[in-house]
Amino acid sequence: MSLRQPYLLRPSAWGRARRLRKALSDYPLFAPPHSKNSAFLDFDSAKENERYFFEHRPERIGALRDLLRAFDVELALEGPGLEAVSAWFPGHAALLVAGLRNKTVRQAFYRWRMPWTGRLRGLNTIFDLGLFFGECIIAKNPRCRWMGFIGAAPGEPLRPEVNIGGIGIDIEGSRRKPYFDPFEYIYLTCSNIQSQDNLFSGLPPSPEMRPGYLAHLVDVYGETGPPRGRPR
């Protein structure tokens, strides 16, 4: 007998879901050379994915900007543009991909099982929201930077593919946390909001449902000043 909680999207979200589904229909795919998390790649292949990521960051932010304009939201990494994205986020994050708590969907994202097409097309947008989150933090705190894409060391055997947490791209240098994966954070936040949007959830509203929550996270993880635990 399955103990999984039934899921029914709240009727108040049906209109937003239809509008978002239309906007996602031709959303550009994230398509690195190697469709695997770097943890399971050799050194050179991981570096090829790294180059792809850095070369295509403006393109990915542009794709997200175009989607948001369909909702009259003008994206920016700081100020009113960040606040506008933050206000849009809680009403739409749950609608990007169905079944975010499903292990198959989660591992498709974390393990880069691509292409993200069909019912998984919204994973491209979740990825770009993670990129946006990271870029906002870097804009607020220039000590932060992207890191990751760590494959097997040259000459070492590849790791066997297993279920994994996180996509292997981190932000380094935050006072809040020395290393963290903004893509995983955004995925989990979308998943939590999706649980809130379930008509059967019975959960009280969470902080993630607040319009300013994403901008608050940028303030928290982009806080400037000396690293915590060290003398000023």
User: What pLDDT, in 10s, does the model give residues 9-52?
Assistant: 777 778 888 999 999 999 999 999 999 999 999 999 999 999 99
Q: What is the dihedral of CA 7, 12, 17, 20, to 10 degrees?
A: -140
Burial profile 92-103: b = 16 or more Cβ within 10 angstroms, e = fewer: bbbbbbeebeee
Residue 225, pLDDT score: 67
Task: Work out the burial of residue 27: count CB atoms within 10 Å of its CB; fewer than 13 is exposed, 13-18 middle, 19 or more buried.
Answer: buried
User: What pLDDT, in 10s, does the model give residues 71-81?
Assistant: 999 999 999 99
Mean per-residue pLDDT over the chain, rounded: 90
pTM: 0.91
Instruction: Tell me the CA distances in angstroms from 27 to 58, 145, 181, one per residue in order.
Output: 15, 27, 23
Beta-carbon contacts of residue 227 (< 8 Å; ≥ 6 apart):
175, 178
Q: Cα separation of 135 and 137, whole Å?
A: 5
Residue 11, preceding bond cis, omega within 30 degrees?
no
User: What pLDDT, in 10s, does the model give residues 108-141?
Assistant: 999 999 899 999 999 999 999 999 999 999 999 9
